[in-house]
């Protein structure tokens, strides 16, 4: 099947109906509304180092068959699969590492579709991926990109890209799994006595500080909730990174609009002290999973981060009947709180042969270490031995 590639500098140039046919999953981050809101509110642009360059593949009748979410990047921020050492190696050899081509959801370390294929063409996946990578290779040559990367893609697509000479890389996240628990106490009952006591003590410490927790889900969220959350988000990024965060105030204002379609799959958990909001955590969810994305606090409270970002996330999973809770990137401390190590994937095309070999060797050594770490991490989980 012969396909015809076109690159678009905005998803506004792509029909929303075609986009949703390619990305029919309920996951919010690949939805047309989410990607377009990032663009329309100035979060992603050439100026921010995330220049949209989405790839659309059409057949002879001009029917859209597949879409690849794609950006031309001038840095490596907001990706969560780190390649800073690779960039340093290129520079040490007098080669510019940027621009690079990246297929990812900006600022979102969540596994999902990056190559969206219309369901009726799914049987041609291998051919479609091959033609998509050829188009990406041509773009790389045109803009003199040294690498093309696909981040947090599915394992299936990572393996398919490996058949097209892309390098498959793994890393670890920590996810909580709902094994049909009726409530939080049923989850705790599956842990060793020492771990149950530790978690209960952490949660009680929050109560003892005079803090009340309130959750707002979907249509319960108001414009004031979103604006309040942005205040915490901005303050925390400023304290940690010296900037106001990747997401603009306009992005949160847009989420607050019912027409965005995003708020209905969102939840914000606030912590109050003396009826004043002092911290908050933002979550998104779909039909199966909860995704913890951002948190912020105006002052430090003992164990409040664990309560808002982890334990309240578990409570939300149970309330909404979701099977998995992805609390975000990194965080080995999640292990003893019942979050289990899972692999996530990235795929890489490196166009300089010498660096392709060197990075391939690097990934192989990295994977050996990762396998050993993952097996060790499993021994640190708090579940009773029968689990």
Residues 246 and 128 in one domain: no
Residue 387 within any structural domain of the chain: no
The pLDDT value recorded for residue 387 is 54
Q: Are 301 and 211 in contact (CB under 8 A)?
A: yes
The pLDDT value recorded for residue 236 is 87
Residues 304 and 358 in one domain: no
Residues 31 and 155 in one domain: yes
Residue 271 within any structural domain of the chain: yes
Residues 188 and 158 in one domain: no
Segments in the chain below pLDDT 70: 386-387
Residue 284 within any structural domain of the chain: yes
Direct distance between the N- and C-terminal alpha carbons of the chain, in angstroms, rounded to an integer: 48
Residues 52 and 118 in one domain: yes
The pLDDT value recorded for residue 241 is 78
Residue 337 within any structural domain of the chain: no
Residues 165 and 313 in one domain: no
The pLDDT value recorded for residue 386 is 67
Number of domains in the chain: 2
3-state secondary structure of 154: coil
Residue 384 within any structural domain of the chain: no
Residue 356 within any structural domain of the chain: yes
Spatial strand order of the sheet with 100-103 comes to 50-52, 71-73, 100-103, 147-153, 340-350, 167-177, 324-326, 289-297, 276-285, 266-273, 211-217
> CA–CA separation, 40 vs 45, rounded Å?
9
Residues 222 and 133 in one domain: no
Whole-model pTM?
0.95
For 272, the domain range is 179-322
Residues 161 and 237 in one domain: no
The pLDDT value recorded for residue 309 is 96
Residues 189 and 163 in one domain: no
The pLDDT value recorded for residue 160 is 96
Q: For residue 306, what is the domain's CATH number?
A: 3.40.630.30
pLDDT in tens, 86-136: 999 999 999 999 999 999 999 999 999 999 999 999 999 999 999 999 999
Q: Facing residues of 177 across strands?
A: 324
The pLDDT value recorded for residue 37 is 97
Residues 194 and 153 in one domain: no
């Amino acid at each position: 099947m012969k396909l015809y590639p076109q690159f678009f500098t905005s998803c506004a140039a792509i029909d929303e109906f075609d986009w949703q046919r390619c990305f029919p999953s309920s996951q919010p981050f690949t939805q047309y509304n989410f990607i377009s809101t990032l663009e329309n509110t100035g979060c992603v642009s050439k100026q921010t180092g995330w220049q949209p360059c989405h790839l659309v593949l059409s057949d002879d009748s001009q029917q859209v068959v597949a879409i690849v979410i794609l950006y031309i990047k001038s840095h490596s921020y907001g990706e969560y699969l780190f390649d800073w050492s690779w960039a340093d190696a290129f520079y040490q050899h007098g080669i510019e590492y940027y621009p690079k081509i990246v297929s990812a959801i900006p600022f979102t370390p969540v596994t999902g579709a990056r190559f969206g294929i219309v369901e009726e063409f799914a049987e041609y996946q291998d051919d479609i991926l091959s033609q998509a990578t050829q188009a990406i290779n041509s773009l790389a040559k045109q803009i003199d990109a040294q690498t093309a990367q696909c981040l947090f893609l599915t394992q299936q697509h990572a393996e398919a890209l490996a058949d097209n000479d892309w390098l498959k890389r793994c890393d670890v996240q920590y996810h909580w799994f709902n094994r049909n628990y009726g409530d939080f106490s049923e989850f705790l009952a599956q842990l060793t006595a020492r771990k149950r006591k530790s978690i209960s003590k952490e949660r009680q410490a929050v109560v003892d500080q005079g803090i009340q927790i309130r959750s707002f889900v979907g249509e319960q969220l108001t414009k004031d909730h979103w604006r309040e959350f942005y205040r915490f988000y901005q303050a925390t990024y400023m304290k940690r990174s010296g900037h106001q965060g990747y997401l603009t105030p306009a992005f949160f204002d847009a989420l607050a609009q019912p027409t965005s379609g995003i708020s209905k799959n969102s939840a914000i958990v606030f912590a109050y002290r003396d009826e004043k909001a002092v911290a908050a955590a933002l979550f998104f969810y779909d039909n199966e999973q909860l995704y913890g994305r951002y948190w912020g606090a105006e002052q430090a409270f003992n164990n409040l981060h664990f309560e808002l970002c982890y334990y309240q996330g578990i409570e939300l999973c149970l309330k909404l009947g979701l099977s998995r809770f992805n609390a975000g990137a990194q965080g080995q401390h999640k292990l003893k709180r019942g979050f289990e190590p899972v692999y996530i994937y990235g795929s890489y095309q490196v166009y300089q042969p010498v660096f392709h070999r060197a990075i391939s060797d690097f990934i192989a050594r990295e994977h050996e270490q990762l396998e050993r770490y993952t097996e060790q991490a499993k021994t640190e989980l708090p579940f009773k031995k029968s689990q």
